[in-house]
Amino acid sequence: MKKRSIPICFLNFLIILCGLVSGDAAGYSEQVYRDRLVAIVNDDVITLSQLNEALAPYVQQFREAHYPQQVERERLFKVRQDILNKMIDQKLTDQEAQRLRVSVDDREVDQQIEQIKSQHFLTEEELRKALATQGYTLEEYRKQTKEQMLRIKFINIEVKSKIAITEKDIRDYYENHKEDYQETQKYHLRTILIKAPPSISGDTKKAALEKIEIIVKEFESGAAFDELARQYSQDGTAAAGGDLGLFTLDELSAKFRETIRRMEVGQISPVLEVSQGYQILMLQEIEKTPAKPLKEARIEIQEKLYRELVEERYNTWLKALRDRSYVKIIQ
């Protein structure tokens, strides 16, 4: 890794910071700790408070999952390292964007989102719903779209030529992935979850099982599944009536796959014991997608290959940028 000297102004900042901690400014010590440096990225820094802010949603998810303490620590450590590396990459990208005067404004992002909605015949509400099933908000999706558009601009600048996908590339991909373009069935599922993580007491777990069995009886007595989900489910889809979206069988876990195979439309599953507690599924409908000949799949394949090539070249460019930059992680 090529090392760069740390700017004098930054060294002065560190000297002043050390003076505050060791001098009479003890009242600032807690704030200083929260904002201590965790990484230096060329002339910029990442602080502990910034890292903790990015990590906070994952901490909450792990706590709600009630993992054993050791497992939670190990997973948080890995996620922390991954997030810090992503923050470093983002700093490097932002710095290079300023140097090259490359930017993506909100208007360009709006146009891209509208194009995506048009291609897939989605309203904004339907797009939000589709994203929610994958754990994303529209705002997070906009941010990802903006980052991807910036990557494409970088690639076009760095490679000095447009990425070309040939007709042979498209044909070869189609021939090698024919199973993806055969007739498929997608299963529209809803769910109700009553949480009962492994760490809770036996009595609490028994109460959770009794609760979901009562819900099953209410459904069998004529209650609407979506209303029951809104009222009782402790899953993130509760507000949407337990709507999980559409899945092929291959996209489901082995337990769900075998359960769904035996169900008919409108039917609910037996109570399933999962890592979060007790769950039931409802098969709302089965959608059949006809086979796609190469002529119909061409544009979809071209876009997929283009995205993959952009990602590959961007990662190569980013690694080279990181190698020639001054990056120091402070444990």
- Give the chain's length: 331
CA atoms within 13 A on the CB side of 308: 10
d(CA 183, CA 292): 8
| Token reading at 197 | 């993580």
Q: Say what the alpha-carbon torsion angle 71, 72, 78, 82 is, to the nearest 10 degrees.
A: 150
pLDDT at 270 (0 to 100): 94
Positive or negative, the CA dihedral 177, 178, 181, 183 is: negative
Whether the model pTM is above 0.85: no
Owner of token pair 């990484």: 39
Domains observed in the chain: 184-289 (3.10.50.40)
H/E run at residue 329: strand 327-329
Asked whether 215 and 228 are in contact (CB, 8 A), the reply is yes
d(CA 85, CA 81): 6
Asked whether 256 and 281 are in contact (CB, 8 A), the reply is yes
pLDDT at 170 (0 to 100): 95
For 116-185, the DSSP string reads: HHHHTT--HHHHHHHHHHTT--HHHHHHHHHHHHHHHHHHHHHHSS-----HHHHHHHHHHTGGGGS-EE
pLDDT at 33 (0 to 100): 52
pLDDT tens digits in sequence order for the chain, 331 residues long: 444 444 433 433 443 344 344 444 444 445 555 578 999 999 999 999 999 988 888 887 777 777 788 888 888 999 999 999 999 998 998 888 888 888 899 999 999 999 888 877 788 888 888 887 666 788 888 988 888 888 778 777 776 566 788 999 999 999 999 888 888 888 999 999 998 877 777 788 889 999 999 999 999 999 999 999 999 999 888 989 999 988 888 888 888 999 999 999 999 999 999 888 999 999 999 988 888 899 999 999 998 998 888 888 888 888 999 999 999 999 7
The rounded radius of gyration (Å) of the Cα atoms in the chain is: 25
Provide the pairing of β-strand 184-195 with 243-247.
Answer: antiparallel
Residue 317 CA, distance from chain mean position: 23
Asked whether 187 and 247 are in contact (CB, 8 A), the reply is yes
Beta bridge partners of 311: none
d(CA 143, CA 133): 18
d(CA 189, CA 248): 11
For 241-269, the DSSP string reads: TTEEEEE-GGGS-HHHHHHHHT--TT-BP
d(CA 237, CA 255): 20
CA angle 132, 135, 138 (to 5 degrees): 55
pLDDT at 135 (0 to 100): 65
Alpha helices in the chain (DSSP H): 8-22, 29-34, 48-65, 69-100, 106-119, 124-133, 138-159, 167-176, 202-220, 225-232, 254-261, 294-323
